[in-house]
Structure 1
Amino acid sequence: MTDHTTRLDHIVLWVRDPLAAAGFYDRAVGLEPVRLSDYSAGEAPFPSVRVNEETIIDLMPLAMAERMTMLPGAAQSSGHPVNHVCLSLPADRFDALRSRLEEQSVPMTDLSYDSFGARGRARRSFYFRDPDGNVCEARHYD
């Protein structure tokens, strides 16, 4: 039987320093770096962080914008981050994330309740920024 499910494979964020960005997403957000040593050795054009077994966030250096020629206007997307990326976590990991961000003095919004998302109404959510100004939302449904 053919699987017709659409899944999110990856998101690309523009970052000034991919190593610093990977460190932030590892330490503060709890997302495991991917290809970090390959990037450091010059063997990969950018590192990533793993969201889950199917999804990663690529940390694209702003310096690569001029080489983005696969689609007209792609280079101009540099410096124009998406509105935000939302991470859905179980309640215990949601609380652990908020604690890690507090420990590292990352500014966060107050908690919101019952905001709508892909799985219906989330119990709690909040927003924070990464060091490059990309806005992230964290939420849990359970």
Structure 2
Amino acid sequence: MTDNTARLDHVVLWVSDPVAAAHFYEQAVGLEPLRVAEFKEGAVSFPSVRVNEETILDLAPLTMAPRMNMVPGGGKSAGHPVNHVCIALTEGGYDSLRARLEEREVPVSDHGRHSYGARGPAVRSFYFRDPDGNVFEVRYYEEG
């Protein structure tokens, strides 16, 4: 049996304007912004948005790339291709998010059905891109 105690803590997204990105994720996606005021004041290097109680998305400015030297070549990760990040919601949350994105004229894909994920096949899914081109999949699973 697999030890399933690991949890996704955060994903770092490279963005051109962290404050605008935080606004997009708050207004269009419905995620809670974190440390935006502190970022504006210069007290922290980047803001974040909360996906759930255990997971955040860090919104790292592209200007940080040259300082990403914790591993050799770390700065070259800016612009490194990541296919997409997937967020699982309830059916109601899924429908609400899609409606908010469409209200803001954010292009969304057609609905996918039964694509495989962490909890098996999802009932429905769709994709969208944030203003910096990061691709997100949104899905929901059968509740029960």
Distance in 2 separating the partners of 1:74 and 1:126: 31
Instruction: List runs of 5+ in structure 2 lacking aligned partners.
Output: none
- Give the AA of the match of 2:136: C
Contact 1:81 1:134 in 2 (8 A): no
Distance in 2 separating the partners of 1:89 and 1:79: 27
- Name the residue aligned to 1:134: 134
Distance in 2 separating the partners of 1:4 and 1:124: 25
Contact 1:85 1:137 in 2 (8 A): yes
The alignment of Structure 1 onto Structure 2 pairs a total of residues equal to 140
How far has the Cα of 1:73 moved from its partner? Answer: 1.3
- Name the residue aligned to 1:53: 53
Identity %: 63
Aligned-residue CA RMSD in angstroms?
1.1
Distance in 2 separating the partners of 1:87 and 1:59: 16
How far has the Cα of 1:100 moved from its partner? Answer: 0.0
Contact 1:13 1:81 in 2 (8 A): no
Contact 1:10 1:58 in 2 (8 A): yes
User: Is 2:113 aligned against 1:103?
Assistant: no
Q: Deviations over 1:33-56 (max 9, x none)?
A: 011111111111000000000100
Q: Deviations over 1:65-101 (max 9, x none)?
A: 0000000111011112411000000000000000000
- Give the AA of the match of 2:24: F
Instruction: List runs of 5+ in structure 1 lacking aligned partners.
Output: none
User: Is 2:4 aligned against 1:10?
Assistant: no
- Name the residue aligned to 1:28: 28
User: Is 2:81 aligned against 1:85?
Assistant: no
**TM-score of the superposition, structure 2-length normalised?**
0.95
Distance in 2 separating the partners of 1:135 and 1:4: 26
Query: Which stretches of structure 1, 4 residues or longer, exceed 6 Å deviation after superposition?
Result: none
Q: Deviations over 1:112-137 (max 9, x none)?
A: 00000000000000000000000000
Q: What SS does the corresponding residue of 1:58 show, helix, strand or coil?
A: strand
- Name the residue aligned to 1:74: 74
**TM-score of the superposition, structure 1-length normalised?**
0.96
- Give the AA of the match of 1:125: S
Q: 1:47 to 1:81 in 2, by over 3 A?
A: farther
- Give the AA of the match of 1:18: P
